Structure 1
């Protein structure tokens, strides 16, 4: 496994110079259309995401956390922090979450041929990926998955179904877990495959989620032939890779800077929604603002925890429960912020404006500015404590990890 080394320390004057460099780049390259692209926790459309990805890639800034030999920047932790702060301040579009999932898998476990074929197009924003993990009846209990891949000469023949597959209808490739053996423990018979989404036998059906938008899908595989060369790692060793990827997914669910932006949006909606000359409305506004301050304090504490984890990683001393702890805490405060947004919207929370958001018609949206996105974030946000492993699963993982550490000599 490749470990990222800490970059050089940056003096305060150097950090400020780097901040000015990032700001100048954003001023020259981040258009109003990209900054205003509608989003909840995700961008509503992949078009501005990929456009911004290609702009960053041309500068060499699309994958700053990757090792330098694979296109990373070699920045220090402070430079990473400055970069993220400035992107958040400018409201730059977030890049695909899968970038930091399949990328590390490829450069850690992939063959030279897989790295050569896939890593550069991923880094440059030329292709989109989706994740084939969950199945009907196999979500939190991922080891029970039933999609089969049977070896037939130089191919695997894949049959089965995946569900809740984000952006499968737009993706060029899928990284998927498939069952290649029924011998022994369920985890021991799982393999990790890369699947070209244009392969015959793949059917994609849309799922409209509770927010009214289309970003989820069902994916069906009927005698889909996948070259054996697309196997990542050894056959039946996919569970190890899956756990490695899930650590990246859990760490990436709900960026703290993205959450700070969502908190600011809810605060702006609340400020616009209440008449502070009315004592009753002023009291309700004060209660919401107090709760938002509590959320902001939580985000600051989580940011300190993140920085501690980064410092520990330099000494290869990160606690194994760290990703689960972050995933649990971040998703719960994410939902609390969204609930406060609904409370601030009041009667306007009943209005369905998803179609206007999807087609980006802000002039037709009703209620306080930003209210439609607050509502959509609340609706899809109910899934945040489920996707990437439920909160209950995270608590179990934390308990086991802490228990193992406590009993270690």
Structure 2
């Protein structure tokens, strides 16, 4: 898939720059040509010689290289690539991209390119979670920038959390997805997955029995058809697939905000098992059991209805909005009523009674309900259900233009 593809790789300044050396090797193994650009800060972590040796090409560093600039080299570099990749993408580089600054070779290339851009963020978790960075992330997503990661894990600073750069093979998968060339190439699909956790106090929460397996399988199917997938996941047992943009959330409110931030999109698939209710005022300390056996009263309020809110948007509504209906009785009737009530285009209904083994299992048996009627699918692996649904989505979006 990457044979003869031209990748312009911008290496930012961070300890994760060492992973970019392996990324170059992995890309070249797959037949891609890599043109490296090393920022001044990136040069503090990896050397131009090592980058150039692995890439088999000159390592560009200076915007005002007289030899290159006699022919406007920065314009040529930015246009000659098939894809621009920034790995690691530091908070500083992302801020420059969001603000439209062009103060060095890397940021000037990013401003001058007419190609798609994929970034692999890497920074301290506090920097990643900072409101300014999250504003920049929202801006970049709105501009159509593709993301690979970040993941969660232990960092060089000793802290643990989100902000860790995606592994080289994960970035390769994201690059391959960007070049997918399938029926969903150039399409953006948002998928929600997993449960949500609604806190009661710091140690207890309300949740649903969802592993996130079906949402992850669907995201893989969409990715394999060439879609750019934003995968908004609650705390699921099944890890997210490689090659998609992962946004991790805990609560329904966080999931709604993440979905809205991911728009515009061609399609939204709400496969998450969102908790219907949350505690109106979660305790800030663990609720203690009364020695007299008194049961604490929990004042519950309704969570936001993500599916209905997006399906009923007056402006910016995705062309296709798909919901899931996990039911234990009168499955089709409840699902058909849900589709009408929510205003979505399709509902994927399934029977999740304990006897079916579907909730948390590896198989699923679904009924796809649309305005035109219903399709009863046989019991299949969740991977196959994901692939079938992805193909149906591709067909619908193709028909929509």
TM-score by length of 2: 0.26
Greater fraction of residues in helix:
1
Greater relative contact order, per chain length (Cα 8 Å cut-off, separation 6+): 1
Greater fraction of residues in strand:
2
Q: Which structure has the bigger radius of gyration?
A: 2
TM-score by length of 1: 0.26
